[in-house]
Amino acid sequence: MDVLLEQQTWRFWDQSLSGKSRSALESFAADDLLCHVVGQGQSPATVRTWVHDQTVVMGIQDHRLPFVEEAQDFLRTRGYNPIVRNSGGLAVVLDEGVLNISIVLSEKENSIDIPTGYEVMLAFVQQLFPEAQGKIEAYEIVGSYCPGSYDLSIGGKKFAGISQRRLRQGIAVQVYLCVEGSGSERARLIQGFYEVGVQGEDTKFSYPSIKPEVMASLNELLQATFTVQDVVIRIQQLLHQRSEQVVSQSLMQEEAELYRFYLERVLKRNQKMLEG
């Protein structure tokens, strides 16, 4: 894992402030763009940080809920915008206290299997929080939202989840870190989403039975007072430790057209899913 984190050059693209009021769909397009340019060797390996206000990102299976329209209305009445993402998993909450990190790597020269991608992000998060040394574990937290084998937890309480997106020989490993606020409150929102969406109907897919008490934020777990921006600074410091140079670079002019292509594709797909 350390070999993949030690790059000669890291590109760092911070959207933790600039992306807040924008749609999270723009972030999925950005990661698709980065998969393309990193995968094809047109950009160095990249870490992108992003935050979006009051959004619930639904998975494809969520869109198949028996009462999906009512479930989306439930979210809207509570001030959350529902969208459908282009990678696997189930519904997650994004808000100003949740920091998303994408690590984008190329497998043009050497392939990176799926478990390795997860392990890279696990190692990255563990190195970000030395005060949690030996405490951060990766296994499925039953009762959490978007459960998976790489749920990150401390003392059995989940604070983060990892997903992957693969495109054009590029891999975006994405994590959502619940840094600030209440993890259980976010879980209660998703609990209500599924209750409204299922309403006791039999479904082919087994949707999670949410137990809010198994989710928490890093601040709650570490009895800390981190802000999202504190963690962004730590990320920059860690990248400087693991490379010869860090280039802070947002969307480059020569990437703009390709970004518009991926954004249009993401927007069309989301619209089709929400209407379907």
Among candidates 135, 149, 134, which has minimal Cα distance to 216?
Answer: 135
Query: What is the Cα–Cα distance from 45 to 103, expressed in whole angstroms?
Result: 8
CA angle centred on 136, ends 135 and 137, rounded to 5° = 110
The beta-strand segments (E) located in 95-242 are 98-106, 136-138, 152-154, 157-167, 170-178
128: left (phi over 0), alpha (psi -120 to 50) or beta: alpha
Q: What is the rounded CA–CA span in Å between residue 139 and residue 122?
A: 11
C-alpha angle 53-57-60 in degrees, rounded to nearest 5: 170
In the Cβ-directed half-sphere of 197, how many Cα atoms lie within 13 Å?
Answer: 25
- Three-state secondary structure call for residue 82: strand
CA dist., res. 198 & res. 116, Å (int)? 35
Please identify which of the residues 35, 146, 187, 196 carries the catalytic annotation: 146
Separation between Cα atoms, residue 156 and residue 143, nearest integer Å? 11
244 membership: H or E segment, kind and range:
strand 243-248
Residue 203 Ramachandran class (φ > 0 left, ψ -120 to 50 alpha, else beta): beta
Provide the residue type at 159 as one letter: F
Helix (H) or strand (E) holding 240: helix 228-241
Q: Is 146 a catalytic residue?
A: yes
User: Among all residues, which ones are annotated catalytic?
Assistant: 146
